[in-house]
Amino acid sequence: MNAPATEDSFHKLIHENYMYGLWEIASQMTPHPRPEAVPWQWKWSLLERVVKESCTAVPVGDERRAMQLFNPGLNGQWATTGTLIAAVQVLLPGEVARAHRHSPAAIRFIMQGNGAYTAVEGEKVIMREGDLVLTPSWQWHDHGNESGDIVVWMDGLDVPLTKALNAIFFEMNAEIRPRATKPVNGSKSLYGHGHLAPTWTRERPKFSPLMLYSWDQTMQALHALRDRDGSPYEGISLEYTHALSGGPVLPTIGCRVQLIRAGEKLKARRVAGSSVFCVRQGRGRSVIEGKAFEWSRNDIVAVPSWALLEHANTGSEDAILFSINDRPVFEALGLYREEALA
Ligand SMILES: [Fe+2]
């Protein structure tokens, strides 16, 4: 029979054998989320310089010329928030980014330049400023620029989430540009009619079958609703919807656009789940967990989960923010919560 264990000897025994007492780690069960990601802003003045220098410093090889926005709180992890990665990608006239596919889902939001394309599963999708383009999970995609513009967009992917689930798969296509098998912008001509969807198609994918959400349609909707009350926390905030189900565009990433009227100051709220926004137009100030960020066109801002967030328009024109979020995951798993400041 061994001698009776002391507290020290007992802890030594369990630690040596890959065990911990709940009493040792219970502080990790926090009363609310305490993300390691911090609120952070990448100013366009910096991004523009980085984009410009990247054009001569780095070729488009097998990988994209996409600068990944690493959250300073996440110790070098490939993550802008706990679940999302945002990047700024640039394609010069004549360049092609080779076809590949991956299990992380992606969106593109076009920041500058017109006429480059993303080919998704055989459909060439022409991209213009302000457009949202989807490349859902495991869909072949390549990018090309047959225009004369330097084209810059924000990528948004669910890489940190997919990685946490050990669900990353990736495959390079044997061809740089697989053959087009569908009409140019074909999903838009089929599914891009708002409240009317074709009855004869049989596909019911988890992701929206519409790959292109055009800026002109987005602006029409924002303007039509501009004089409504909107949300006291988000202003005239609209969700991009799955063309068949009306749900989020992707199972893991929600996309929104919000208009904050000139002079408008919104109320503070926190939500479970993180987001990243890109300023499409206007100027404003967002206070995130007590830290103020002054923003203008093409700035990108990371908002961690449960961060107290308050937006204000500080300019003389309407401000418009595009954002990605992980809300669909929180909703699907029953984890979504929100709390307004009393
Ligand atoms: Fe990709």
pLDDT of residue 117: 98
Place of tokens 């507290």: 7
Q: Residue 126 domain-assigned?
A: yes
Q: Let me know: does 106 contact 156? Beta carbons within 8 Å.
A: yes
- In the reported structure, the alpha carbon of residue 310 is separated from the centroid of ligand 1 by a whole-number distance in angstroms of 33
Place of tokens 């949202």: 132
Interval 200-232: pLDDT, tens? 998 889 999 999 999 999 999 999 999 999 999
Number of residues that this document lists for the chain: 342
- In the reported structure, the alpha carbon of residue 5 is separated from the centroid of ligand 1 by a whole-number distance in angstroms of 56
Cα–Cα distance, 153 to 131 (Å, whole number): 10
Global pTM exceeds 0.95 = yes
Interval 18-33: pLDDT, tens? 999 999 999 999 999 9
pLDDT of residue 204: 87
Average pLDDT over residues 1-7: 86
C-alpha 200 chain-centroid distance: 32
Cα–Cα distance, 219 to 161 (Å, whole number): 31
pLDDT of residue 215: 98
> Which amino acid type is present at position 324?
I
- In the reported structure, the alpha carbon of residue 141 is separated from the centroid of ligand 1 by a whole-number distance in angstroms of 6
pLDDT of residue 3: 83
Q: Residue 15 domain-assigned?
A: no
Q: Residue 5 domain-assigned?
A: no
3-state secondary structure of 241: strand
pLDDT of residue 62: 75
Q: Let me know: does 324 contact 252? Beta carbons within 8 Å.
A: no
Average pLDDT over residues 4-14: 97
pLDDT band at 60 (very low <50, low <70, confident <90, very high): confident
- In the reported structure, the alpha carbon of residue 136 is separated from the centroid of ligand 1 by a whole-number distance in angstroms of 10
Q: Residue 296 domain-assigned?
A: yes
Planar angle of CA 192, 197, 201, nearest 5 degrees = 105
- In the reported structure, the alpha carbon of residue 138 is separated from the centroid of ligand 1 by a whole-number distance in angstroms of 9
- In the reported structure, the alpha carbon of residue 168 is separated from the centroid of ligand 1 by a whole-number distance in angstroms of 12
Planar angle of CA 147, 190, 324, nearest 5 degrees = 65
Average pLDDT over residues 2-18: 95
pLDDT of residue 84: 98
Q: Write the CB contacts of 103 (distance below 8 Å, at least 6 apart in sequence).
A: 137, 138, 162, 167, 168, 169, 170
Average pLDDT over residues 31-41: 98
Tally of CA atoms within 13 A in the half-sphere of 66 that contains its CB:
18
Average pLDDT over residues 290-310: 98
DSSP per-residue codes, 116-171: EEEEETTEEEEE-TT-EEEE-TT--EEEEE-SSS-EEEEEEE-HHHHHHTT---EE
Q: Within the chain, where are the H helices?
A: 7-16, 22-25, 44-57, 159-164, 186-191, 215-225, 327-332
Element (DSSP H or E) covering residue 172: strand 170-172
Give the CATH number of the domain where residue 313 resides.
2.60.120.10
β-strand partners of 311: 286
What percent of the chain clears pLDDT 90, i.e. is strictly above it? 96
- Burial track 201-229 (b if 16+ CB lie within 10 A, e otherwise): eeeeeebbbbbbbbbeebbeebeeeeeee
> Which amino acid type is present at position 70?
F
Task: Tell me what the pLDDT averaged over the chain comes to.
Answer: 97
Q: Residue 11 domain-assigned?
A: no
* Closest by CA position to 51, among listed 160, 182, 152: 152
Planar angle of CA 59, 162, 54, nearest 5 degrees = 15
Place of tokens 């602006």: 219
Number of structural domains in the chain: 1
Q: Residue 1 domain-assigned?
A: no
Average pLDDT over residues 224-245: 97
What percent of the chain clears pLDDT 70, i.e. is strictly above it? 100
- In the reported structure, the alpha carbon of residue 176 is separated from the centroid of ligand 1 by a whole-number distance in angstroms of 13
- In the reported structure, the alpha carbon of residue 133 is separated from the centroid of ligand 1 by a whole-number distance in angstroms of 12
pLDDT of residue 234: 98
DSSP per-residue codes, 100-119: EEESS-EEEEEEE-S-EEEE
Average pLDDT over residues 130-146: 97
- In the reported structure, the alpha carbon of residue 237 is separated from the centroid of ligand 1 by a whole-number distance in angstroms of 28
Interval 71-110: pLDDT, tens? 999 999 999 999 999 999 999 999 999 999 999 999 999 9
Interval 255-288: pLDDT, tens? 999 999 999 999 999 999 999 999 999 999 999 9
Interval 139-148: pLDDT, tens? 999 999 999 9
- In the reported structure, the alpha carbon of residue 103 is separated from the centroid of ligand 1 by a whole-number distance in angstroms of 9
pLDDT of residue 259: 98
- In the reported structure, the alpha carbon of residue 172 is separated from the centroid of ligand 1 by a whole-number distance in angstroms of 10
Element (DSSP H or E) covering residue 257: strand 254-260
Look up the domain containing 251 and give its range. 33-340
Q: Let me know: does 108 contact 153? Beta carbons within 8 Å.
A: yes
How buried is residue 4: exposed, middle or buried, by Cβ count under 10 Å (0-12/13-18/19+)? Answer: exposed
- In the reported structure, the alpha carbon of residue 77 is separated from the centroid of ligand 1 by a whole-number distance in angstroms of 18
Task: Indicate whether 2 pLDDT > 80.
Answer: no
pLDDT of residue 202: 86
- In the reported structure, the alpha carbon of residue 43 is separated from the centroid of ligand 1 by a whole-number distance in angstroms of 24
Q: Residue 25 domain-assigned?
A: no
pLDDT of residue 9: 97
Task: Indicate whether 322 pLDDT > 80.
Answer: yes
- In the reported structure, the alpha carbon of residue 107 is separated from the centroid of ligand 1 by a whole-number distance in angstroms of 9
Cα–Cα distance, 150 to 133 (Å, whole number): 18
- In the reported structure, the alpha carbon of residue 101 is separated from the centroid of ligand 1 by a whole-number distance in angstroms of 6
Average pLDDT over residues 236-257: 97
pLDDT band at 1 (very low <50, low <70, confident <90, very high): low
Q: Residue 17 domain-assigned?
A: no
- In the reported structure, the alpha carbon of residue 95 is separated from the centroid of ligand 1 by a whole-number distance in angstroms of 15
- In the reported structure, the alpha carbon of residue 174 is separated from the centroid of ligand 1 by a whole-number distance in angstroms of 15
- In the reported structure, the alpha carbon of residue 40 is separated from the centroid of ligand 1 by a whole-number distance in angstroms of 24
